[in-house]
Amino acid sequence: MSIDYLGEIYNAKLSDEEFRKLSEFIYNNFGIKMPEIKRVMLQSRLQKRLRELKLKNFKDYVDFVFSAEGQDNEVIHMIDVVSTNKTDFFREPIHFDFLTNEIVPQFMDESPNETFKIWSAGCSSGEEPYTITIVMSELQEKFPGLNYSIYATDISTKILSHAIDAIYKEDRIEGIPFDLKKKYFLKSKDRIKPTVRVIAPLRNKVTFTRLNFMDNSFHTPEIFDQIFCRNVLIYFDRKTQENVINKLCDRLKPNGFLFLGHSESITGMKLPLEQIKPTIFKKVI
């Protein structure tokens, strides 16, 4: 491949029509809004796909995406680079405090012999479900009979692979108390690029799989006691948000809890939920 060819790919621009086709496809199939303000972002992120596919321009790329081969293979790669994945360990700690102090103690009073089932919907690179495993593992010391399972989903296959590996830069866990870091993370021997890995017993508690919020229904293996869906809905329009939350509620037990992100609101939506605290909702029977 010549330098000129690389330069041509690097400078490829999305035309109005190409952007319209891609943005409409992404919205209709994955619910992710792609307004004009995101054109440069979309163009920049997809240029890597052009290089890997050895395509000279976005016209060829759009044609490929809408071909039979592209629908089978490229669409997943496109969504991997388009979807935004930002998360942290113990993000929005009020939720974990409520889980620790309210939800699990009540569950153990009412259903001590059952498994507490949790879904991390939009789990990104795994920080959220692994935080949940840490919290639940700590609670097992207070409630020795507590059994739990965690189901974690995301639309991006690339980010799910990262989550399954459970390897993070060491500075990602700086905010976690030292005793929890020592207990639940293994340090790499590489001090130039130090990393940590979640210990195997916690990794084994989480089942990861791909899920698209635009699916007609969510065929999860369980009905859940609690669902985390935080800072995901902000990428959808209001109608799509309401539709997604209703489908989440279909997989939530009566009196089960849904946690949303701090910037997300369900005001005015028709949902089987009552607000318990800001961003914490209970499914009404």
∠ CA(151), CA(157), CA(161), 5° rounding? Answer: 75
DSSP class of residue 72 equals I
Selected catalytic residue, list 20, 45, 51, 91: 45
**Coil, strand or helix at 190:** coil
Q: Among 171, 148, 173, 152, which residue's Cα sits nearest to residue 162?
A: 152
Judge whether 154 counts as a catalytic residue: yes
135 vs 156: CA distance, rounded Å: 25
250 is catalytic: no
Alpha-helix residue ranges (DSSP H) falling in the chain = 3-10, 16-30, 39-53, 58-65, 68-69, 75-82, 93-98, 104-110, 127-142, 157-165, 178-184, 200-203, 238-250
3-state SS assignment for residue 188: coil
- Rounded CA separation 81/29 (Å): 15
Question: Within 10 Å of residue 256's Cβ, how many Cβ atoms?
Answer: 21
Residue of 39, 49, 154, 203 marked active site:
154
Active site residues: 45, 154
